[in-house]
Structure 1
Amino acid sequence: MPQATAPAAAQANVLAPVRFNTADVPEAERMAFVREFYGPVLTGLDLAPAPDDPFRISVSFLELPGAWVAQGTASAMVSTRTTALLSDGIDDLTICRAERAYRVTTPDGREMNVGAGETGVWTLGQRSSSIIQPDTVFRSVQVSRPLLRALVPNLDDLDMVRFAPGDPVLDLMFGYAELVERQHIGSEEAGRLVAGQLAELAALALKREAPRREMSGRNSVRAARLAAAKAAIHAALHRPDLSAATIGAQLGISARYVQVLFEEDGETFSSHVARLRMEWLRRMLDDPRHAHRRISDLAFEAGFRDLSTFNRQFRRHFGEAPSAARRREVP
């Protein structure tokens, strides 16, 4: 049962455990509260109860700087990380162990079936749905991607991972999470220390998985997503509203994850888009068939919203003004 980091204002003390039980909400108001606050605001998920199992959940959780731990019980439901909810920018990894089997699916057809007592790992930075059985008892640890990226090679290649019951490192991590969830941690500094220790334990387990996947010849999830993002940019290059957010929404990943894909490839999302637009414009300026067209019209067709930005980027890219480039090319 993943948890997405809630705003600090949602809790009086972000370092104290919080408990929530649907039984404390009047039945007539229960689903409205869940759909308007508990789901999208507190967990970052859209929660839909099973039609034959009245919605109920009892959970305690503790938010830390960079991590979140939770444990509780829930009725049968589907919890979905929707495209709209991805706008919160959260792309943490969820590590969840439940006493009953559950399934995680993505819109592009990938799925992970997690058996009773097994541990599933997936990211909140993409669209996904978790199908939960009735009376599920769960423990969940959520760790921010920046904390884990410093510890786990090829972290972004680990799309969905399943661990067998009794994994000693994960047993230790969940035991530690249960211990700290019962405590009132006295300061943010202590909270950061605890979050770092949870991340280190999670990393010990995840690092065992990363080399196996790299050696297996399995296509890199990160490389595939980068290729898909580049293809989507090419298709939308001339749209003025082209952004990491629009590409992320199209691919079902967060805008921040789109930016990270390009940063790890050696350039920013914005510089990649600007370069492609400049290359297209240069081809148009060099083509005598378009010599009659105004440079400003070409700039707007390339997707630029204003001429000052276009002129500045063109000069930075080619070292001269667009008008000078065209004059040099005209015989």
Structure 2
Amino acid sequence: MERAGAPNFFVNRYTGPPRGRDYERWREELYRCTLRVDVQPGAGDSIDCELQASLLGGVLLGTFSGTSAEFSRTRDTLKDGYDGMCLVIATSGRVLISHEEHSIELSESQMCLGDMSVLCGTRMSNHSKIKTIRIPRTLLLTICPKAEDQLALALRGQPPVREAVARYHALAANLGPHTDVVGQHLMAQHMVDLIALLLGTDADRTELASYRGHSAARLDLMRADVIANLSRGDLTIYSVAQKAGVSPRNAQRIFEQTGTTFTEFLLEQRLLLVRKLLLDPLNRWRKVSDLAHSAGFPDVSYFNRVFRRRFGVTPSDMRAA
């Protein structure tokens, strides 16, 4: 299993028959290091699967893609006593779920909650892609006491919440392992809160999950959207809110709860980007105005004023220093 830039971020691919030293090593690492499952071909006599796994606190986020693999809690793996729960998200292709005596097929964007203390499995085939979220049972039941009533069902309802779960999975899986321990635990809690909203809980816990999880996840997603699109001169609260699935007024309110406005956050990120570009030796021959435009500042005079106010020096003086 290859650690990809962080001690709790793994990437690995296996292609070949389910036998031999390489397969046994990969199989053991999947069980011992990450997933607590056994793996076999999903179709035919060969495995073709790429795995990305991110561990945030006690929550493990996995992304799987390939043409053939089946991950199962077998009688042997159940001996470890692990009783966590796992949400499976079908991203593309056919995803077959087995859970004790039940079997269901998930279509794109559908989700299913499974119990890892019983015989269960997830089969990929025909260029499938799935995401998984493994959660300690007590952590989920604390915010969603009736989660076990939703086991082995195709979760089709609440499209906005399902979309938030899928988008936040992508954000947390890629950025979470590179944040500090506190940030990782917060992301894990936000993820669990979103799942509780998806499954449904009582009024008090719904309010808590909405405030603590959904709003925080939406804020993280909107911030990430801003940072990814700083070069766009037409980036506004309206476009960011629409992508996050909230009204511009609610988006502004979510930002203001952190002590800043959307406009202030956008300006700060653009200034930080220009400073980074100025200090990069690879950009030493680029004009300051070019760097400002690439960060979304159409007005160079305005850029120079706000840059000096923020950093106490002009862009040219910072570069010279």
TM-score by length of 1: 0.53
Contact 1:15 1:187 in 2 (8 A): no
Deviation at 1:144, TM superposition (A): 1.7
Letter in 2 for 1:202: I
Distance of aligned partners of 1:97 and 1:106 in 2 relative to their CA distance in 1, 3 Å threshold:
closer
Deviation at 1:77, TM superposition (A): 2.7
Distance of aligned partners of 1:195 and 1:14 in 2 relative to their CA distance in 1, 3 Å threshold:
farther
Distance of aligned partners of 1:65 and 1:110 in 2 relative to their CA distance in 1, 3 Å threshold:
same
SS at match of 2:62: strand
Deviation at 1:206, TM superposition (A): 0.6
SS at match of 2:178: coil
Question: Which residue does the alignment assign to 2:54?
Answer: 62
Question: Which residue does the alignment assign to 2:184?
Answer: 191
| Aligned partner (choices 158, 161, 178) of residue 169 of structure 1 | 161
Distance of aligned partners of 1:200 and 1:116 in 2 relative to their CA distance in 1, 3 Å threshold:
same
Distance of aligned partners of 1:149 and 1:165 in 2 relative to their CA distance in 1, 3 Å threshold:
closer
**2:116 aligned with 1:130, yes or no?**
no
| Aligned partner (choices 96, 117, 139) of residue 88 of structure 2 | 96
Q: Any gaps of 5 or more consecutive residues in structure 2?
A: 203-321
SS at match of 1:117: coil
Question: Which residue does the alignment assign to 2:29?
Answer: 37
Alignment of 1:67-216 (within 5 A): 67-98=59-90, 99-107=92-100, 109-164=101-156, 167-183=159-175, 184-207=177-200
Contact 2:73 2:116 in 1 (8 A): yes
Report the Cα distance in structure 2 between the residues aligned to 1:11 and 1:88, rounded to whole angstroms. Answer: 24
Contact 2:143 2:201 in 1 (8 A): no
Deviation at 1:122, TM superposition (A): 0.9
Question: Which residue does the alignment assign to 2:11?
Answer: 19
Question: Which residue does the alignment assign to 1:254?
Answer: none
Distance of aligned partners of 1:14 and 1:155 in 2 relative to their CA distance in 1, 3 Å threshold:
farther
Contact 2:49 2:68 in 1 (8 A): no
Deviation at 1:86, TM superposition (A): 1.9
Q: Alpha carbon RMSD of aligned pairs, Å?
A: 3.2
Deviations 1:158-207 (A, max 9, x none): 32221228721121122112112222433222211111000000000011
Deviation at 1:34, TM superposition (A): 2.8
Q: Any gaps of 5 or more consecutive residues in structure 1?
A: 1-5, 210-331
Letter in 1 for 2:150: L
Deviation at 1:85, TM superposition (A): 1.3
Contact 1:53 1:75 in 2 (8 A): no
Deviation at 1:15, TM superposition (A): 5.9
Letter in 1 for 2:141: R
Deviation at 1:14, TM superposition (A): 7.0
Report the Cα distance in structure 2 between the residues aligned to 1:79 and 1:102, rounded to whole angstroms. Answer: 11
Distance of aligned partners of 1:193 and 1:53 in 2 relative to their CA distance in 1, 3 Å threshold:
same
Contact 1:105 1:128 in 2 (8 A): yes
Deviations 1:224-263 (A, max 9, x none): xxxxxxxxxxxxxxxxxxxxxxxxxxxxxxxxxxxxxxxx
Alignment of 1:213-232 (within 5 A): none
Report the Cα distance in structure 2 between the residues aligned to 1:145 and 1:151, rounded to whole angstroms. Answer: 11
| Aligned partner (choices 41, 59, 63) of residue 49 of structure 1 | 41
Report the Cα distance in structure 2 between the residues aligned to 1:52 and 1:23, rounded to whole angstroms. Answer: 13
Contact 2:42 2:124 in 1 (8 A): no
Q: Percent identical across equivalent pairs? A: 15
